[in-house]
Structure 1
Amino acid sequence: MGLKVFFENNYLKANRRFIMGTIAYQSPVRKWTFEFWEGDLIPSDQIKLAAEIINQSFFTPVAFKPNSTRQDEASARIEALQRVLQTEISRNQEYEPLNVAKGLGRIHIIPKLDEHVEIGFNEILVLDEVPVQLPPVAGIITTKPSTPLSHINLLAKGWGIPNVYIKNAQELFKQYNGWWVEFDARRDNYSIKRADNSQLDEYQKRLKERLDVMKPRSDLSVTKLAGLSEQRASSVIAYGAKSANLGELIHARLPGFTIPPGFTIPFFYYDQFLKENQLDNAIYTMLNDQKFVHDPAYRRAYLTRMRNQIQQGRMNAELRAEILRRGHAEFPGQGVFARSSTNSEDLPNFNGAGLYTSMPNLRSDDQLIEGIKTVWASVWNFEAYEARERAGIDHMKIYMAVLIQEGINSESSGVMITADPFNRTPEAINRGSIYISAKRGLGMKVVEGQRIAEQVVFRPIANSVQVLTRSEEDSLLTFDEHGGIREIPIGGERAVLTDEVIRRLATAAAGIKKVFGGKDQDIEWAYMRGQIYIVQSRPYIPGG
């Protein structure tokens, strides 16, 4: 009997000789469960039969754990069936590694993270909540779960540091606060121990071996406000990675999704703006201020003043007129996004996720112009500066393009990668897996990692959808009619995506991966009125 016939007879057909599953103890909820492989198309009557037989012969009650949306729906119809959902298990989980790695640093327990808390690059942070942004650090431990595609975790992968969820971590690590430790985050567990002198000596030695300064490429001769359809991947040196990659996808003409239309203001105009407002000299002075270099609190305040100066600068009159002309012609009466697109993201060993600012739903002329200046100013976000400094990137060679793009007031949004970040085993069943996280409304909360998203894995070989978590959100973000976004409450735990939409997203992701040479991709998407929109694709960093 071949493998295909075996699968069909035992997992796909309703008329089967055997019911094949697993009984396991779920320690986070202290319950025994029986479950089936997520690709098993077992019908309701056989789930009920299995529950009856198992509970007649087992020494303690055994609940059913559905592993797919189909099993969830089939079992929900069975009267009196005791169930344990993956969401309940995840909620009570004590440890989850988001990026496995070893870190050496000083433990810093932070009950409440705000702009007044100073963070060192040599610290392993113990946080009570998932941050939206962080400067480079030696490790991240949070007491609230997050997702592997949050901006913070993408940065952690790029920095090669551990990033984990540990229940009650602030209490568990109280004895280590302020001490240098070695923290080893593994897939199944973690270890922490105080560092010895030899480890600290080796750390100081590595610190002195400064990386060669990286100078990202740019072409300041390009002055055209180019539509996305006029760009290709090679346009990155004038329009930045985000914009150029979207242009490449438009040229690929893949079915099943749409790229929202837009045009991009190239690097030339960021450079022009700085020079016309005498800000290039001000930036040079700032970067050579020795107190700025050595004092983090002073540096943070100086960068805030620099962003304010950029915001107050005057945009070139001809450029302003051309931007507004294009905006009125291409997006009449619509809100648009001003998206950051730099030459300092998606570089080797430097992801740049979440470091720069994008502005949503800009509706008036003033909102659009001020939004563009906000994006330009975000080159000097504290976290962006710190990350570039750690990576050895020349700050004076950084340029910001701005993508002006149709705003999609999405019903659901999220991120997906063309791999399963939780299971990197080489088994054939995992080949081509697509991980998807999703939330209702606009996608900011997903990429920021502020709330648990719905997380699923689609395995094309088995044509199965495995549900990892359901969304725990109690609100969603939507466009405000006056510009910007607003938050509105929602209720009830229910599926964000149907199996049909999941399969459509997975098909889109697989096609996008092929466009970029078969390299795994980290993709941001939106869904509205039956249409899938792709708003970003960047190389995925698998990390540890």
Structure 2
Amino acid sequence: MPETPLVLAFTDERCREVALSGGKGASLASMTQNGLPVPPGFVITSTAFAEAVDAERLLGCLEVRDLEGARAVVAQTVPPAGLIKAAYDELPRGTSVAVRSSACAEDGNDASYAGQQETYLFVETLDDVLAKVVDCWLSFFSERALFYREHKGDLRDISMAVVVQQMVDAEKAGVMFTVDPVNHRRDRIVVEAARGVGEYVVSGEVTPDYYTLDRQGTLKKARVVDEPVLSASELADLARLGLHLAELNGGPQDIEWAYDSTGLYMLQSRPVTTL
């Protein structure tokens, strides 16, 4: 029996397995392997957490709803530092990374775990990466995440992966839906965009521009805050890649994207669950 990997690069075929890499990690691996523009990175797999944590103690705490005890168990868990260092050293030098939670039950067609766990941006050193991996694990056992799992999933589910990915120094970023999720129109694409990193849009910290496009990428409607964030050609590029992702995944997608000085990057793709 081959050993189950603890750390996998996005380029590794096994990284596409949701059970190992979580929804986010598997999506990034799939996009990478399909030739989409994705910043390089790797996944600390669900197996790494399962092997490192005292699962018996953790499940015991969860069964009696001892949230503090569960978090104490997770806080003592040590990530596989040597393997993480080897993967981290493969990333381009001198760039910061994002460390992102990736739950393995995440983003099915009947539930979206978006925003349930933590993402840490502009992480600068290996030591900080290791600390943030534990913070991501801890976020899986927050009151909010456990409440959601209890009602939408399984409280005994402790499968969680963590993504480490080169940061995009975003000049503009946001989200795109390959259908209109509010009006339920499948002939429309909706793009929200703001200057800076996309987390500002996702978390609601800024008011984004709001663009509605047809499936050819032609602008139909725009609600612009100040100067338009995106040009017509950028909107057309987003629409083209968004529809390609929807085709690859077999259904409408909710996509995070960013433009830096070199061009467009795809940061995440997950099913639209509101239709």
TM-score, normalised to structure 2, is: 0.91
1:253 equivalent in structure 2: 35
1:350 aligns with one of 105, 108, 111? 111
> 1:452-471: CA deviations, max 9, x gaps?
2111011145833410x224
1:287 aligns with one of 46, 55, 62? 62
**Deviation at 1:308?**
5.0
Specify the code of the residue in structure 2 equivalent to 1:404: V
> 1:94-114: CA deviations, max 9, x gaps?
xxxxxxxxxxxxxxxxxxxxx
> 1:106-139: CA deviations, max 9, x gaps?
xxxxxxxxxxxxxxxxxxxxxxxxxxxxxxxxxx
> Within the alignment, does 1:442 sit opposite 2:174 as a pair?
no
Distance between the aligned counterparts of 2:220 and 2:68, measured in 1? 46
Distance between the aligned counterparts of 2:243 and 2:156, measured in 1? 37
**Deviation at 1:305?**
5.8
Structure 1 pair 381/221, CA: closer, same or farther in 2 (3 Å)? farther
Distance between the aligned counterparts of 1:224 and 1:380, measured in 2? 21
Specify every segment of 5 or more residues in structure 2 that has no aligned partner in the other structure, as ranges.
none
Specify the code of the residue in structure 2 equivalent to 1:334: T
Distance between the aligned counterparts of 1:226 and 1:455, measured in 2? 36
Q: Which protein is bigger by CA-based radius of gyration?
A: 1
1:501 aligns with one of 205, 219, 234? 234
**Deviation at 1:267?**
0.9
Structure 1 pair 304/444, CA: closer, same or farther in 2 (3 Å)? farther
> Within the alignment, does 1:522 sit opposite 2:254 as a pair?
yes
Distance between the aligned counterparts of 2:181 and 2:90, measured in 1? 43
**Deviation at 1:224?**
4.5
2:42 equivalent in structure 1: 263
Alignment of 1:262-411 (within 5 A): 262-275=41-54, 280-289=55-64, 292=65, 303=67, 306-307=70-71, 309-311=73-75, 313-315=76-78, 319-391=80-152, 393-411=153-171
Structure 1 pair 408/359, CA: closer, same or farther in 2 (3 Å)? same
Q: Secondary structure at the match of 1:396?
A: coil
Distance between the aligned counterparts of 1:244 and 1:407, measured in 2? 18
> Within the alignment, does 1:470 sit opposite 2:252 as a pair?
no
Aligned-residue identity in percent: 26
Cα root mean square deviation, aligned: 2.2
> Within the alignment, does 1:414 sit opposite 2:174 as a pair?
yes
Q: Is the 8 A contact 2:6 2:48 kept in 1?
A: no
**Deviation at 1:321?**
1.8
Q: Is the 8 A contact 1:241 1:343 kept in 2?
A: yes
Distance between the aligned counterparts of 2:127 and 2:173, measured in 1? 28
Specify the code of the residue in structure 2 equivalent to 1:350: A
**Deviation at 1:234?**
5.1
**Deviation at 1:497?**
1.2
TM-score, normalised to structure 1, is: 0.47
Specify the code of the residue in structure 1 equivalent to 2:218: N
Structure 1 pair 465/283, CA: closer, same or farther in 2 (3 Å)? same
Distance between the aligned counterparts of 2:68 and 2:258, measured in 1? 32
Q: Is the 8 A contact 1:228 1:261 kept in 2?
A: yes
Specify the code of the residue in structure 2 equivalent to 1:526: A
Specify the code of the residue in structure 1 equivalent to 2:258: A
2:4 equivalent in structure 1: 222
Q: Secondary structure at the match of 1:523?
A: strand
Distance between the aligned counterparts of 2:234 and 2:258, measured in 1? 11
Distance between the aligned counterparts of 1:497 and 1:223, measured in 2? 41
Distance between the aligned counterparts of 1:264 and 1:423, measured in 2? 36
Alignment of 1:162-177 (within 5 A): none
Q: Is the 8 A contact 1:260 1:535 kept in 2?
A: yes
Alignment of 1:169-188 (within 5 A): none
Distance between the aligned counterparts of 1:461 and 1:409, measured in 2? 28
**Deviation at 1:395?**
2.1
Q: Is the 8 A contact 1:232 1:245 kept in 2?
A: no
Moved over 6 A (4+): none
Distance between the aligned counterparts of 1:442 and 1:513, measured in 2? 23
Q: Is the 8 A contact 2:11 2:32 kept in 1?
A: yes
Alignment of 1:129-144 (within 5 A): none
Structure 1 pair 394/446, CA: closer, same or farther in 2 (3 Å)? same
**Count of aligned pairs:** 274
**Deviation at 1:533?**
0.6
Specify the code of the residue in structure 2 equivalent to 1:368: V
Alignment of 1:223-238 (within 5 A): 223-231=5-13, 235-238=17-20
Specify every segment of 5 or more residues in structure 1 that has no aligned partner in the other structure, as ranges.
1-219, 293-301, 472-492
Q: Is the 8 A contact 2:216 2:239 kept in 1?
A: no
**Deviation at 1:233?**
7.9
**Deviation at 1:531?**
0.9
Specify the code of the residue in structure 2 equivalent to 1:288: E
Q: Is the 8 A contact 1:231 1:244 kept in 2?
A: no
Distance between the aligned counterparts of 1:233 and 1:326, measured in 2? 13
